[in-house]
Structure 1
Amino acid sequence: MLKKILVKKFGLGLVLSSLSLLCAQSQGEIITSFDTGVDVEVSSTFSVNEFETVLFDSQVFVDGSASGDASGSDDFGPVILGSDEVGLVSAAANGQVNGMGGFVQSSWETDGYLFFENNTGSDIFVNVLFDITWFAEIFTASSDEEAYATAGFFIIDSFDDMVSAEFIELDSLIKGPGNFSESDSFQVNFNFVLADGDFEEYFFIADSFGFAESPQAVPEPTGLFLAGLALLFAFRQRKLNR
């Protein structure tokens, strides 16, 4: 009788130990995350008649043990930007998962435009400068998790042509597990002659997006957990055969 009791306690102990290990892996620490953003300073050597930004889209979706946030330029303007005055545009998104089965996706997109009009009585030379700084960072604790982050800045001219499409991107499916980050600062310039009585317009999009996901834990009967089940099965067979 003593032997049977010991077998029962030993088997249950192994199962409980296995379950506690699985629970420890599914709660608490960050197991996957992303963080990304873009900041842009806009200026011109000639006065900008209209500078305006409009929040086009912002969303944060969270499921399970996860959290996230998004921020950036909201509705602003239109305002006049004097020669060499600076207009600001930004978009940022982040998120993290703290447990198995968690998912987070967040994004921010700001659209805007610059409008130039020449009423000086003569042709003028215009230089438009976009000073861009961005970053992206992802983390996955193992190959089971997934994380993705991107940030970009896109410029369209008055003919609806995409004249600049710059973006940064990190994907754990390509990079593998671990922590990865990239950042950069650079400038995009446009020079043009604006005839007297004429106008020019540039549209722009600042965008940040990312997601992080950890699949739902499905315990497999391996290792210590399998040993516990085997001992319980042996005990049950002895009890039935008494």
Structure 2
Amino acid sequence: MAHCEHHAPAAESVDTVISRMRALDGALPARDGIAVFNRVYLAVTEAVGRGIGTGRFPDARAASALDVRFAERYLAAVDAAGRDDPPPACWRPLFQFRRHPQVRPLQFALAGVNAHIGHDLALAVVDTCRALGCEPADLEDEFERVGDLLVTLEERVREELTPGPDLLRIADPLAHLLGCWSLERARDGAWAAARALWALRRLPELAGEFADRLDTAAGFAGRLLLTPLPAWAR
């Protein structure tokens, strides 16, 4: 497999985006929906940083560039909301429901993961290819290893934030919400979308429409994941 040329550096470093997420963690109330997702994403980004440092990625610079551009899309949504500007459609449900008392922490975490993978990841691959002068195929190894870390983290999130078996009965609405979304499927979809966007790069109007559809679809899925649950189901 060919490797990227690396003629353009990442806008920020992995350490920089980790610092920004740690600052958010310290500033937000623990129960805030953005804070719940931020803790999840911070753990992933720290794991990627360790992986880059220990040689887990075949091309450390490409992995760092992809990780940073991926994180920057989430942080840009946070910055937009802080200015009272509307964030991308994929993030809007999480910002709208972040303080809803009938939305559980696991729902916040998965809605954030859905927004970030269902929309941001494909665009981050394209951003990285443009910056480093390479094709999506050149980033496939890095994409897969980041995806493996995300899957591991999703398993941990479900273990830590899901009620125990005695509480999560089959009749619990949360059980149905958990069954309607899959990180593996979202990751596969993100890779296909990245390749499609790259193929459409010389047709900016069509590429923009495709990206808008991704954004809208991720926002719709996020709104479903954040369905408030009645008090008897909590």
TM class, shorter-chain normalised? Answer: under 0.3
- TM-score where L is the length of structure 1: 0.27
Please tell me whether Structure 1 or Structure 2 has the larger radius of gyration of its CA atoms: 1
Higher helix residue share? 2
